[in-house]
Amino acid sequence: MHTEAWANSSMEEVASDRAQRLFKWMLDFGLSPSTVTFTAMLYCLARNEKYCTVESVQSVFEELEIKYGLRPTTQVMNAYVHALASCNDADAAELAEEALYKMEEMYENGDKDVAPGVVTVRGI
């Protein structure tokens, strides 16, 4: 997926814009996003100071669950934690920590697709 390429691009300034345009293009052609798509979108946000706000990160995450009915995976949650921790907002670090606790709770309640680990903690 091209959104993954932009998430890994060294062009931080344009990566988020380009990934968002590709996301819209994908939807316009009737393609459904996956958890991989949302993981890439969150990593793009994390790499761009201009767009990385708590509101934008939470919006992408909520869209995954509410609009598309997808369940977060470990990779999505790691990207979510990383994106929150990358925001310059005052409450971003606290929200990233809360997301870690949410992961733990989900895992303990039987959701084995969400397992916090070293990558998650390192993201904070």
Q: Look at residue 119 and tell me whether its pLDDT is greater than 80.
A: no
The more confident residue out of 90 and 65 is 65
Report the predicted TM-score, pTM, of the whole model to 2 decimal places.
0.81
Per-residue confidence band for 1, with pLDDT thresholds at 50, 70 and 90: very low
* 85 close to 124: Cβ distance less than 8 angstroms: yes
> What is residue 71's predicted lDDT score, i.e. its pLDDT?
92
Q: Look at residue 19 and tell me whether its pLDDT is greater than 80.
A: no
Instruction: Using the Cα atoms of residue 45, residue 54, residue 91 and residue 79 in order, give the sign of their dihedral.
Output: negative
